[in-house]
Amino acid sequence: MMVTMTRKHQADYILGNNPADMSYLVGYEAKYPLHVHHRGTSIASIFSLHSEVGCTQGFELWYNRAESNPNVICGAFVGGPDKNDGFSDDRSNYEQTEPTLSASAPLVDIFAKLQSLYCNIGEGYNHNESPMPQQKTQSKYH
């Protein structure tokens, strides 16, 4: 049970119950990192710019901007705070604002365990209540 409580505290911390009152999961809750160190989120879309942005232009025109990223990379888990719970929401501070797969991997364990514990008390998806969708046509590959 101690491990489960630790997971719960970790999830709560990641999702905003921390000294910064900030979710480190981008797009979750009202306060989350706005200057994520990620090219796709820090450069405006070609659909809004109506012209291509090359690598050099992206760095010069977008990377050093003080404004928030023009795109929100929902679900990205950034590096998070330092050992003193400090967090600098600065695009150039890649240690804290860059989303990575290696940082996100532990979230799978934490959230999967919590989902398995709480799914039968009205929270989350309960696979016992909803039948699985039936395949309508047979695939030639199966």
Catalytic residue set? 37, 89, 98
The answer to whether the CB of 74 falls within 8 A of the CB of 26 is: yes
Task: Give me the chain's average pLDDT, please.
Answer: 84
pLDDT band at residue 141, thresholds of 50, 70 and 90?
very low
**Average pLDDT of the segment spanning 130-135:** 50
Sequence length of the chain is: 142
DSSP-assigned letters across all residues of 3-26: HHHHHHHHHHHHTT-STT---SBT
pLDDT at 74: 94
Given a cut of 60, whether residue 133 has pLDDT beyond it is no
The percentage of residues in the chain with a pLDDT greater than 70, rounded to a whole number, is 83
pLDDT band at residue 116, thresholds of 50, 70 and 90?
confident
Burial class (CB in 10 A: 0-12, 13-18, 19+), 5: exposed
pLDDT band at residue 46, thresholds of 50, 70 and 90?
confident
Query: Residue 25 pairs with which residues in a beta bridge?
Result: 77
**What residues contact residue 118 under an 8 Å CB cut-off, 6+ apart?**
124
- Taking only the tens place, the pLDDT of each residue in 47-98 is 888 888 877 777 778 888 899 999 999 999 999 999 999 999 999 999 999 9
Query: Residue 77 pairs with which residues in a beta bridge?
Result: 25
pLDDT band at residue 16, thresholds of 50, 70 and 90?
very high
pLDDT at 47: 83
Question: Which residue, chain included where needed, has tokens 């070609």?
Answer: 46
**Average pLDDT of the segment spanning 118-122:** 63
SS3 8: helix
Question: pTM score, two decimals?
Answer: 0.76
